[in-house]
Chain A
Amino acid sequence: MSKIKILHMYADMLDLYGDSGNMEILKYRCSKRNIECIIDKYSIGDDMPYFPEYDMIYIGGGADLEQQHISSDLVKCRGGIKKAYKNGSFLFLICGGYQLMGKYYRDADGNEIKGLGLFDYFTVAPSSRKKRCIGNIVVNTEITGNPVKVVGFENHGGQTQGVKTPFGSVLYGNGNCSKSDAEGYFEKNVIATYLHGPMLAKNPEISDYMISYCINRRSDTHIKLTKLNDKLEKDCRRVMLERLLNK
């Protein structure tokens, strides 16, 4: 039986717009295939975990206040997260988690929160709190080898710049910056995105991309995932795509 170990960081603080649902979905899709999915949690005050033992590290999004609270703790984890990433652990990052892996995040009042600097991008929030990118979003991504239209919900003030390898192109909504063409950040073992909803709810291909990566990352033979019945998920996405794209 295959096994995946996930570290869900700051689950008690960074959980906007259903972000914890992503863990529930991954666990569900693993259980349907008899893949053991262990999800450990780490938050402020817990013992420092050994990051490289995890196949995936997951961080969700939070309000500014919560983000400030965790940022100094996150800095302590920098070495461990970096090592895990270099060893091929998957980094799955939503909104705040996405922002904090870049160089810095400057909030609406001009306070700079230092990021972990794993990646080159940086994020600046406009001084007006009212200028936020809010709403449904459709992103076309080719990470699985085939084009997939991913549907989610974005709500962020921060404008992320300096991304060279985005997760996908925006078909509807804003993306990294207000009305931008690109959304998120991607490497073969990194998906960083502004999509909430949760992101995986109606996009089973993305879940399976990550599960497949995790169970195969250490082996020479490629284990193919068994197909699941995703009718509800795909109907769900179809309804939204028809509504958002066929105007």
Chain B
Amino acid sequence: MKKLLILLGKIIIKVLHLFHRNAGNLPGIILWHLSKQRCCSIFKVDCPIIAVTGTNGKTSVTNCIAQLFEKSGKKVIINREGNNLDTGICSLLLRHCDMSGNVKADYLILETDESHVPVVYSQMRLETLVVLNFFRDQLDRNGEMETLIKKINSFCRAFDGNLVLNGDDPNTARLGLANPKNERKIRYFNAERYKFATDKTFEASEGHFCPFCSEPLEYEYYQYSHIGKFICKKCGFGDYEPYITASNIDLEKPVFTANRHEYSPKLNSIYNIYNMTAVAAVGKLYRIKPEIIEDVISNYTVNNGRMENFMLGDRKTTLNLAKNPVGANMTLRVMNEMNGDKELLFVLNDNVADGLDVSWIWDINFSIFERVTRVVTSGTRAYDIAVRIKCSGYDPSKITVCPDLDEAVAELARTEGRKFVIANYTAVQPTRQALKRYSENGGKNNE
């Protein structure tokens, strides 16, 4: 039966190729139906599997971990396009297996959606699970945050592989106590206080209470959102021995130290420091050569709308994806940490993949705006973000609403100065294209 399914899946991929279609998720979706929803169980995987999950940073960390092994000369299979549900992983493995379903590689590195970790790894043996953070995000699809964490927690209760956890996020650190028998395989990464950490949180957050005894958690500092050094005074939750710690963080260079090595990443956000510390933790765990870890961390950059730079004529423009308030607040911080005047374009969509709802923009702290001389808004909810920014006290006469993206980019480029662009999930690719169109045509794309 399994062989039949694999044959069928391979045929589907071939047929799609004949029609010049990218196979994407479709073969996996068909097999999902035919395999009684266990489409990842039809493969035979003998190599170790490393999975990366969490709300933010999955793609970056998955790519970097894959590079650690690739640069060590290993054959790696990775889901690069973010096909991170069971059906996407099934489609990926279909392309890489032989007719008997054997997957041949040294390592499988799989970005895995938070809600799909128990689904996928009840079907395939997982060696290492990396959990980056849990933020309120995509509530509509996953149900409430607590339900999601409980699902992963019950998976961890029976999991005897390596767990690499963000120790500064109570939502992920709690997973380390799920299976006491597995204690020696739990590794926490964390980061020391950085310059812009605060004593109180000004951003929307979760994790107010100790998940074990319901006492309010106490924070020594918040790095961003609810990420920081926390402790439960009653039961001691938060008091753990870190496996690796990012210290001496200086975002202006940017530079940080971990495991006695100094790293100079390309991206200068605290966000990226946490991601790279997770990468360093996996590198340490798998005894990757220090020079390879350094190479990966210091060269990692992205061209997918995550702090990506464009030139609009002679005006430098930085685009950043923001799926949630944490991401948007991050960009605002980067803007503020930079001297001089700047202008912002905010592109906001409310498509299905955005969760339909845009109220998360009210958790963005626009009152910190410094020297932002003008705002342009665009996307299907261009007016919502304009109202949001106005009600934070920003002068509405400096806000221009242009629902059409090309018009919005032209409007942004009209004046001189440094530009920043924030776009949410489904807005980021159209925004990249609009920015590219403008920079290639030098603003003469008015057909």
Which A residues fall within an 8 A CB radius of B? 12-13, 15, 17-18, 20-21, 24-25, 28, 44-45, 63-66, 69, 129, 134-136, 153, 155, 196-198, 201-202, 229, 232-233, 235-236, 239
Contacts and interface: CB of A to CB of B under 8 A. Distances in A.
A24 B387 contact: no
Interface in B336-384: 356-357, 359-363, 383-384
A166 to B, nearest CB: 22
A12 to B, nearest CB: 6
Contact of B392 (A17, A20, A24, A45): A24
A19 to B, nearest CB: 8
Contacts of B393: 28
Interface residues of B, number: 31
A196 B356 CA distance: 13
B388 interface: yes
Contacts of A17: 357, 359-360
22 contacts: A17-B360, A18-B359, A18-B360, A18-B362, A21-B391, A24-B391, A25-B391, A28-B391, A28-B393, A44-B216, A63-B144, A63-B145, A134-B140, A153-B356, A155-B140, A197-B359, A198-B362, A201-B384, A229-B396, A232-B396, A233-B387, A235-B383
B362 A21 contact: yes
A236 B362 contact: no
B250 to A, nearest CB: 32
B146 A236 contact: no
Given A65-B146, A69-B214, A232-B383, 9 more contacts: A12-B208, A15-B363, A18-B359, A64-B146, A198-B362, A201-B384, A232-B386, A232-B390, A232-B401
B144 A232 contact: no
A28 B362 CA distance: 14
A131 B160 CA distance: 35
B399 interface: yes
B100 interface: no
A161 to B, nearest CB: 23
A136 B356 contact: yes
A209 to B, nearest CB: 17
A229 B216 CA distance: 42
A123 B386 CA distance: 35
Contacts of A196: 357, 359
Contacts of A69: 209, 214
B357 A232 contact: no
Contacts, number: 79
A233 B399 CA distance: 13
B143 interface: yes
B201 to A, nearest CB: 9
A229 B357 CA distance: 26
B146 A18 contact: no
Contacts of A65: 144, 146
A50 B140 CA distance: 38
A229 B391 CA distance: 12
- The interface centre, meaning the residue of B204, B357, B390 with most chain A CB atoms within 10 A of its CB, is B357
A134 B141 CA distance: 11
Contacts of B388: 21, 201
Interface string B81-105: 0000000000000000000000000
Nearest to A243: B380
A69 B390 CA distance: 34
A45 B362 CA distance: 26
A235 B382 CA distance: 10
A18 B363 contact: yes
Nearest to A152: B359
A63 B146 CA distance: 8
A20 B383 CA distance: 19
Contacts of A24: 362, 391-392
- By Cβ-Cβ distance, the 9 closest A-B pairs, closest first, are A18-B362, A21-B362, A18-B359, A236-B383, A17-B359, A63-B144, A65-B146, A28-B391, A153-B357
A60 to B, nearest CB: 11
Contact of B144 (A64, A136, A201, A202): A64
- The interface centre, meaning the residue of B139, B388, B396 with most chain A CB atoms within 10 A of its CB, is B388
A232 B387 contact: yes
B429 interface: no
B209 A239 contact: no
A79 to B, nearest CB: 25
Contact of B387 (A63, A136, A202): A202
B147 interface: yes
Given A28-B393, A69-B209, A235-B383, A129 B147 contact: yes
